[in-house]
Chains A and B, each alone.
Chain A
Amino acid sequence: MTRLLWRASWRHLTAHPWQLALTLLGVALGVAVVVAIDLAVSGALRSFEWSSQVLTGRATHQVLGGPAGLSEQVYARLRLDVGLRDSAPIVTGEVRPAERADITLQVLGVDPFAEGAFRPYATGGGEDSLSGLLTEPGAMMLTSDTAARLDLHVGATLSVRVAGQQRAVILVGTLASDELTAQGLTDVMVMDIAGAQNLLGRSGTLSRIDVALPIGPAGEAMAAQLRALLPHDAVLLPATAVTQSLTHMTDALRFNLQAMSLLALLVGMFLIYNAAAFSVVQRRPAIGTLRALGVTRGEIYLWLVLESCVVATLGLVLGWLLGALLGQGLLQAVVNTINDLYFSLTVSRVALEPQTLLKSAVLGIGAAVVASLRPAWEAAASVPRALRASSLETTRRARLPQRLLVGAGVIGVGGVSLVAPGQVLWPALVGVLAMVAGYAWLVPAATVGLMALLRPIASVFGGYAGRMATRGVTTHLSRTGVAVAALAVAVSATLGVGLMIGSFRHTVDGWLQHILRADVYVAATAGAGLPPELITELRAAPSVVAVSTGRRIQIQEANSRTEVWVLDPAPASRTGFRYKHGDPTQAWQAFVEAGAALVSESYAFRQRVGVGDTLRLRSDAGVREFAVAGVYYDYGSDQGVVALHRATYDRYWRDRVVASVGLYLEEGAEVAATMAELRDRVGAVHEVVLRSNRELRAAAMQVFDRTFVVTDVLRLLAVLIAGVGVVGALAALQLERGREVGVWRALGFTAGQVGAVVTGESLCLGLAAGVLAVPLGWVLALVMVHVIQPRGFGWTMSFVAEPILVGQALALSVTAALCAGLWPAWRMARAVPAAALRGE
């Protein structure tokens, strides 16, 4: 019996290769998007984690200093007084090759004599390179891959930019390691600690001390003992603390992108459903015969579901291949986003991980099975030797009221889940998905209604062809309904995300205009501070009436990392802050005079602090408490920022670095001319970046736009999948209606007229999907702006609708449907009537 069923499957699938291809494509594209996002996002992070692990080596803990770095005397004390042998001093930093601005080299300065047990690769480069590393000025080692990428051979010099200066380093050897370790060492430049301090201008300080403590109570006791011995500005943290808190930063980003990829899979599910449903419709006579031959309902049901599984498995493999390609393509975009928003990261390549394959397999095959359950059930429910397709259409339309109820119910559940109070993101995302699914449920009914409305207009413009097209959509609702739903969902997602990004952009732009008060900004090049004499000079420059200074530091603690914005405000800086909570006057006064902190909205959200609360920060004088005087709007970091007055900061921290200066010019001063003059005055002596208010804002917006590149790609992919769905639906219609078209031709329709009817149907599908997508997209945007963003990032945004996006969504929908309808229309028009009618 089973053999018979499988042979029936084989015959059916091979007899309808296009249909099979479309199902495969549905699974493959859905899976590909999931795999691609997983590959790009998780791959980038995994690679970051691996690289961190390689760089941390065998260390279990790290001693970190404050913003001014860790005094190297702490290391001497650990070795000489405490006798802590398993410890290694580390100096890190970043440099850029002068000729290759696209590469950032991570400097890892080590003491090879303290090192071996921590990172074997750091001392394993052979004797010659090691003694070179110790004695040659600027000596460094790279992996052979990185050396090749920089076109360097051993003995060659590389010119690098560091803290605004050009310095020469020399490759004395390559890092010997296995391939996996070498991957973690991509773009890592190992130097002797003396060379690293000299290159980075950091003599006297270390970045950290790596420590290996035994695991278990003995290690904990040693850790406690060490903590007691460390000076106030040093802290002992687990070695994984930094990496973990960095990767945690990307949680919301990762979650959002994964949700987007699931949406693509959902759209793919419509496709699979469509194909499965159609194959059942086609095989109703065969299934009837099988039932008459004694095949049970259960067997039919299982057979069709399993058939779906097998097809899905094929599609899955295709999806993996496509996903791997797409993932590599998306990787750079994701890496750029993480670089812009969170931390610097280099990933040259990523590998498909087993868990990605497993996850996508479960999702892809699961989606196929779920999508085929209903068609299979319908087939199994039919009586032996049953009716033709049309009976299904009749029952389907008869069930419309029932569907309306179900759809409304699911939307209701989604809505409840959305408005349910709480700060957790996932119920909101479940709510969104439920709303989308419920809405899709309503789409067939809405399509029937829309077609009825459209018919008079269509008959005016398109005559009988118009009428036939609108009717065709309704008559073949089992096919068209799903296609419209898929397209509507894809287009609404595009519209919703577009509206959200527009609102976000608008909000950020408004915020930037507000917070950037100075006319000209002077910033130190990466990794350096502005020399005090330069600041004095800038203060004294003609037409400069006021100066503000800024510095951003990261304070690492065991489970978190806090960004502190150290601000020495100019009088006008005050108006840059807009408060969500707190009285502006009092908050400012407390900030300036009473050593209070202002916190950004996302900080308040994440740390659950508000005005009147206190927050604790690890300062160079130990942990200190700061009162929160106000919560201000800020969209610069989704992790949140704590703003401290420079005077407050200087009281508890030793670091005196100023990283940027804002210059306020006198009324009526010409910005461009002043900047040119400043460049002449300071440019020759100091390497600094001068930017006008407008330039800085533009640069910030550029970063903003770059972070949405991945999202844009995903939106387009969803529409592409929906387009394939429309091709599938129309192609199926064409196959199914072969006889009908034969009758048309026999009645005297020309090929062109047949083509016009089919094209008309495509147009109707596109219009219906577009029109139905608008409300859903709008609601999605509102939900994203008012629920998802505040819950995911703690950001308040105003919803600003750009009407042009609605027009774009309609155009996209119609264009996608028309493009998808071209091939079916051509096929139908070309059909030979006699062949089509031969069955009669």
Chain B
Amino acid sequence: MRRARLTWLVVLVALLGLLYAVWAWREVAPPKPAGSAAVTAVMSGDATGFTRALGPRAFEFPADHGPHPDFRQEWWYYTGNLETIDGRRFGYQLTFFRFAVTPEAQVGASAWAVRDVYLAHFTLSDIAGEDFHAAERTSRTALGLAGAQAEPYAVWLEDWHAEGDPHSLTRLQAHAGEVAIELELRLTKPLVLQGDGGLSQKSAAAGNASYYYSMTRLDTAGVVRVGQQTFTVRGLSWMDREWSTSALDKDQVGWDWAALHLDDGSELMYYQLRGRDGGVDPQSRGVLVDGDGGVLSVSAEQVQWQVLDHWRSPRSRARYPARWRVVVEELGLELELTPALADQELNLSFRYWEGAVTVRGRRGARSLSGTGYVELVGYE
């Protein structure tokens, strides 16, 4: 009798302990970054009153390096792979997003009235240290806290900057916690207008498109700081510029994007838009930029995008593809992409995986290697 009671007591205590553990585990789940609710609110805004990307346009530089306030969203997207002289590898991402909250700002004397909100993501993949650092910032443009301009070229959010002359030298600067980058990016190939002369159709519906151009090869040099250590690095960066009002269709759940620097001097970029049913949208496409700057467009039918492995995030429990075989038969291209670190998930105001990858493969008879960045959006 006594013993039975004791057993029950033990079971009860164990159950309570379990409940507590579950509860405590829930508690330690990383909090959303500051202002995340505000960001979500901003991104879920209404598209009425904004211009849509309906047809090709004549790009004008340097004006188009600056903001396009008529469109609802816009980004300046820097990614790159870096290496110290003795081969220690890093990947970085520095992205500035502009979201318009409303076509017309509130009237009033206050300088704080919100029209555009800037959001920036900065990541550093410390490959040797097997560490991934990600940080987010958000700000309105009031008081010059954040903004973008064409001349002189500058995009900034507080003291994270990209500035200089995009056609020659751009300086990037960002820090968060114990990591920081200070880099100089030199453009070595002409700009590439993506899609149809810069109009990148994202789904069949008119207006579900963006204006999109890239700087595919930027020689990069500078320093990376991790804690007390400073590393002098060199490498290659990629820069994407895109602005739109409405891009994805409601049946599209996300996209995979890759931009690769190959050691034969060429770059391959490819994105595929994924539908709710798991299928790939026919609007998915990419480019191959040759060493001399020649651009070849590739369509979805031409590309085999094969997932070889998966990785599950311990934080979000989301399952991401983790290794790929990419084949473009018409170009004789056969590549295998491996994440440099498994965990390069940004669990910020919005969650996605974006990280450095290592490339091995061949083009025709020639074996190739390279580095690149892959972005995976919309995985649960």
Q: Please report A residues at the B interface, Cβ cutoff 8 Å.
A: 72-73, 75-76, 79-81, 83, 85, 111-117, 123-124, 127-128, 130-131, 134-137, 192-195, 197-198, 201, 203-204
Tell me whether A135 and B143 are in contact (CB under 8 A): no
B106 is contacted by which of A81, A111, A117, A194 (Cβ under 8 Å)? A194
Please report the C-alpha to C-alpha distance between residue A744 and residue B183 in the assembled complex, in whole angstroms. 113
Please report the C-alpha to C-alpha distance between residue A203 and residue B109 in the assembled complex, in whole angstroms. 6
B44 within 8 A of A: yes
Tell me whether A194 and B144 are in contact (CB under 8 A): no
Q: List 9 interface pairs A-B (beta carbons < 8 Å), by A numbering.
A: A79-B139, A80-B158, A114-B139, A115-B34, A116-B36, A116-B38, A117-B34, A124-B37, A134-B102
Q: B residues 90-121 with Cβ under 8 Å of A? A: 101-102, 106-114, 117
Give the residue among B40, B114, B137, B143 with the most A Cβ atoms within 10 A: B114
Q: How distant is B154 from chain A, measured CB to nearest CB, in Å?
A: 13
Please report the C-alpha to C-alpha distance between residue A131 and residue B106 in the assembled complex, in whole angstroms. 12
Q: How distant is A697 from chain B, measured CB to nearest CB, in Å?
A: 39
Tell me whether A79 and B158 are in contact (CB under 8 A): yes
For residue A75, which residue of chain B has the nearest CB?
Answer: B143
Determine chain B's interface SS by DSSP, over half rule.
Answer: loop
For residue B107, which residue of chain A has the nearest CB?
Answer: A137
Tell me whether B108 and A203 are in contact (CB under 8 A): yes
Please report the C-alpha to C-alpha distance between residue A124 and residue B35 in the assembled complex, in whole angstroms. 10
Please report the C-alpha to C-alpha distance between residue A114 and residue B38 in the assembled complex, in whole angstroms. 10
Determine chain A's interface SS by DSSP, over half rule.
Answer: helix
Interface size on B, residues (CB 8 A): 35
Tell me whether A76 and B37 are in contact (CB under 8 A): no
A76 is contacted by which of B32, B36, B40, B145 (Cβ under 8 Å)? B145
Please report the C-alpha to C-alpha distance between residue A113 and residue B117 in the assembled complex, in whole angstroms. 9
B292 within 8 A of A: no
B169 within 8 A of A: no
B265 within 8 A of A: no
Tell me whether A111 and B140 are in contact (CB under 8 A): yes
B4 within 8 A of A: no
Given A73-B143, A76-B145, A112-B38, the answer on whether A131 and B108 have CB atoms closer than 8 Å is no
Tell me whether A114 and B35 are in contact (CB under 8 A): yes
Please report the C-alpha to C-alpha distance between residue A80 and residue B137 in the assembled complex, in whole angstroms. 13
Chain B residues lying within 8 Å of A204, measured Cβ to Cβ, are 109, 111
Given A80-B159, A124-B37, A192-B112, the answer on whether A134 and B42 have CB atoms closer than 8 Å is yes
Tell me whether B145 and A127 are in contact (CB under 8 A): no
Chain A residues lying within 8 Å of B106, measured Cβ to Cβ, are 135-137, 194-195, 198
Q: B residues 26-75 with Cβ under 8 Å of A? A: 32-42, 44-45
Given A116-B33, A198-B110, the answer on whether A135 and B101 have CB atoms closer than 8 Å is yes
A116 is contacted by which of B37, B111, B145, B158 (Cβ under 8 Å)? B37
Chain A residues lying within 8 Å of B40, measured Cβ to Cβ, are 127
Chain B residues lying within 8 Å of A192, measured Cβ to Cβ, are 112, 114
Chain A residues lying within 8 Å of B144, measured Cβ to Cβ, are 76, 80
Please report the C-alpha to C-alpha distance between residue A209 and residue B143 in the assembled complex, in whole angstroms. 15
Given A83-B159, A127-B40, the answer on whether A134 and B114 have CB atoms closer than 8 Å is yes
Chain B residues lying within 8 Å of A194, measured Cβ to Cβ, are 106, 108, 110-114, 142
Tell me whether A112 and B35 are in contact (CB under 8 A): yes
Chain A residues lying within 8 Å of B139, measured Cβ to Cβ, are 79, 113-114
Q: How distant is B47 from chain A, measured CB to nearest CB, in Å?
A: 13
Q: How distant is A769 from chain B, measured CB to nearest CB, in Å?
A: 62
Please report the C-alpha to C-alpha distance between residue A128 and residue B114 in the assembled complex, in whole angstroms. 15
Tell me whether B110 and A116 are in contact (CB under 8 A): no
Give the residue among A76, A113, A195 with the most B Cβ atoms within 10 A: A113
A113 is contacted by which of B110, B140, B143 (Cβ under 8 Å)? B140
B138 within 8 A of A: yes
For residue B42, which residue of chain A has the nearest CB?
Answer: A131
Tell me whether B45 and A131 are in contact (CB under 8 A): yes
Please report the C-alpha to C-alpha distance between residue A653 and residue B113 in the assembled complex, in whole angstroms. 29
Q: How distant is A193 from chain B, measured CB to nearest CB, in Å?
A: 5
A193 is contacted by which of B101, B102, B110 (Cβ under 8 Å)? B110
Please report the C-alpha to C-alpha distance between residue A116 and residue B36 in the assembled complex, in whole angstroms. 8
For residue A117, which residue of chain B has the nearest CB?
Answer: B34
Please report the C-alpha to C-alpha distance between residue A75 and residue B139 in the assembled complex, in whole angstroms. 13
Q: How distant is B41 from chain A, measured CB to nearest CB, in Å?
A: 4
For residue A83, which residue of chain B has the nearest CB?
Answer: B159
Chain A residues lying within 8 Å of B159, measured Cβ to Cβ, are 80-81, 83
Chain A residues lying within 8 Å of B140, measured Cβ to Cβ, are 111, 113
Please report the C-alpha to C-alpha distance between residue A136 and residue B140 in the assembled complex, in whole angstroms. 16
Chain B residues lying within 8 Å of A135, measured Cβ to Cβ, are 101-102, 106, 114
User: 8 other contacts beyond A198-B106, A203-B111, with CB at 8 A cut-off?
Assistant: A76-B144, A83-B159, A114-B35, A116-B33, A116-B34, A130-B38, A194-B106, A194-B113
The 8 A-B residue pairs with the shortest CB-CB distance in the complex, in nearest-first order: A198-B108, A130-B41, A194-B112, A116-B34, A197-B110, A203-B109, A112-B38, A76-B143
Chain B residues lying within 8 Å of A197, measured Cβ to Cβ, are 108-110, 112
Q: How distant is A214 from chain B, measured CB to nearest CB, in Å?
A: 13
Give the residue among A75, A137, A194, A197 with the most B Cβ atoms within 10 A: A194
